[in-house]
Amino acid sequence: MGMSEKPPLLVTAFSDYICPFCYVGDARLQKLRDAYDLKINWRFVEIHPQTPAEGMPLSALGYSAERWQMLMDNLQQLVETDGLALSERSFTTNSRKALLLAEAAKSAGAEVFYDLHRKLFQAFFVDNLNIGDESLLRKIATGCDIPESMINDAWTNLEFQQRLEQNLSAARQIGLTGVPTFIINEQKLTGAVPEDALRKAAAA
């Protein structure tokens, strides 16, 4: 390895685009690129499959008012600490088609995948848009130079549905308790853990 080359770091990340803590966790994980040649195996897991694509009120998720307020206070503190944009949201949606699209986009190369990856988080958490809506997803994907044939393939090819099933199976096998979860050097870190914790695991 040359003096200017960064050491490789392989990370497995379980995530969902409708999870706000995944949005924060992704931003923190990406910061490790300053010190490592970061290779992330994104394993997308649908956390609320029962949610309709047209969306539903956040109140329908079933959290108590106290629990929900605690989660939102924690989230607000995280985004303020990290300087991330976050709009006030009142709804959640079904993420399945967004996850399938992301799985398909992996075959288009890292640049295309990460363009889509960032824009899906941006659409939901910053622009307050419904990423369960197929027409919106088509617009986002087209803006990432993903061909229409690949978009259609994402939603009709059983291969990508099987990948989501495999991701869920892998999550269960490791006893996953929530997303995001990052596997770094065989260490399992769950939640939007501090950047320092990610760096410590990377250096282990």
Q: How far apart are CA 134 and CA 141, in angstroms?
A: 10
pLDDT of residue 16 exceeding 70, the answer is yes
Task: Write the pLDDT tens digit of every residue in 81-93.
Answer: 999 999 998 999 9
Q: How far apart are CA 68 and CA 36, in angstroms?
A: 36
The rounded mean pLDDT for the chain is 96
| C-alpha span between 164 and 203 (Å, rounded) | 30
Write out pLDDT tens, residues 67-83. Answer: 999 999 999 999 999 99
Q: What is the pLDDT of residue 89?
A: 86
Its sign, for the CA torsion 123, 169, 158, 106, is positive
CATH of domain 8-203: 3.40.30.10
Rounded to whole angstroms, how far apart are CA atoms 154 and 104? 5
DSSP notation for 47-58:
S-TTS-TT-EEG
Q: If you count DSSP H runs as helices and E runs as strands, how many of each does the chain have, helices first?
A: 8, 6
Task: Beginning with the edge strand found earlier in the chain, give each strand of the sheet holding 37-44 in spatial order.
Answer: 37-44, 8-15, 181-184, 187-190
pLDDT higher at 2 or 201: 201
User: Cα 10 to chain center, whole Å?
Assistant: 17
**Interatomic CA distance for residues 53 and 130, integer angstroms:** 8
**pTM of the predicted model as reported, rounded to 2 decimal places:** 0.96
In the chain, domain spans: 8-203
180: cis peptide before it, omega within 30°?
Answer: yes
User: Would you say residue 4 has pLDDT above 90?
Assistant: no
d(CA 155, CA 98): 9
